[in-house]
Amino acid sequence: MMERILSVVFAILCFVLGFCIAFAVFALAIVGGMRFLGRLFFRVKSKGYKPPFACLIVILSLIAGVLAGGIAFYTISIGQRTESFTVVMLWFFLAFYLFFGIGIGVSSLVMALVTAALPQRKARVFGARKVRFPFAIVGWFEIVGGTLLLLYLFSDFPLNKLLNHWNILAGTYLLAILPGLYFLELAKRRKKTLSLTQVIAEDKRPPVFYLRSFKEESLPFVAEYTDTGGDEPYANTITLEKYLSAKITELIGPFVALGSPEDYLPPEGAARFYAEDKNCDGPL
């Protein structure tokens, strides 16, 4: 009797240990895959393509990954008809890891191939930023479309069957609602961005010129925490430029900077001018 109890305890410990190891490997693979996609995104930008096009490549790559992972998930789960709880759980974890593992792998492969195939374009653009992409329209389209899809799923499936379609729910949030919120934030930022000419015309005090490396201007300086009602507050990182901008403008003078020729939208903070290399002092 004691040997049977010990064997059961040993089996449970092995299962828990195996699950923890598998989950750790899975989490590292997800983080590594997303970092790889992020590097490819900036690689596309460095080739001279604007962020909307680079975002489109990321979204299409993620869609390809979701489809590949979904096919693998349903292929392995459809044939599973056993009543054993242990076997069902093992099949579920295997299908779960296949969905995300194959999804991230296919997404990374597709984006790497597309990035390598894209021809090099002129990445440095001088003069005022001319942003024609309809961020607000696309953002609302994605949010409304994703919300309608979620409402359809909740109305058409009972809760117990809806949980079987968690991959569709996660895909809808990641590929529609989350990008839609990001596009709305970009539209808001574009609307409130003032040109250097406007800033200097409205404030006659001597300007404060912000010098920094273009490669380091997006690095986080401090974290701003927001209470979301949960156990952990939401941390939003802020750059040095954004952190100093309001106080410098209030106490000293207009905060201005030379803009990177690779900017698509002016970052938050100093008012920028985009001069050519031979005339980098611009209107100042």
Chunked mean pLDDT (size 10), the chain, 284 residues: 66 68 68 76 80 78 76 64 55 65 78 83 77 86 83 66 61 74 86 84 90 84 70 74 89 90 85 76 55
* pLDDT recorded at residue 255: 92
Instruction: Parse the chain into domains and list their residue ranges.
Output: 21-123, 132-192, 196-279
* pLDDT recorded at residue 151: 77
* pLDDT recorded at residue 225: 72
Distance of CA 234 to the CA centre of its chain: 16
Q: What is the pTM of this model?
A: 0.61
Token pair 């329209």 is found at 137
- Contact call for residues 174 and 54 (beta carbons, < 8 A): no
Residue 258 has φ and ψ, to the nearest 5°, of -80, 125
For residue 138, give the amino acid letter. Answer: V
Distance of CA 172 to the CA centre of its chain: 14
The DSSP bridge partners found for residue 209 are 256
Residue 73 and residue 101: Cα distance in Å, rounded? 11
Residue 26 and residue 100: Cα distance in Å, rounded? 8
Residue 48 and residue 118: Cα distance in Å, rounded? 10
* pLDDT recorded at residue 232: 65
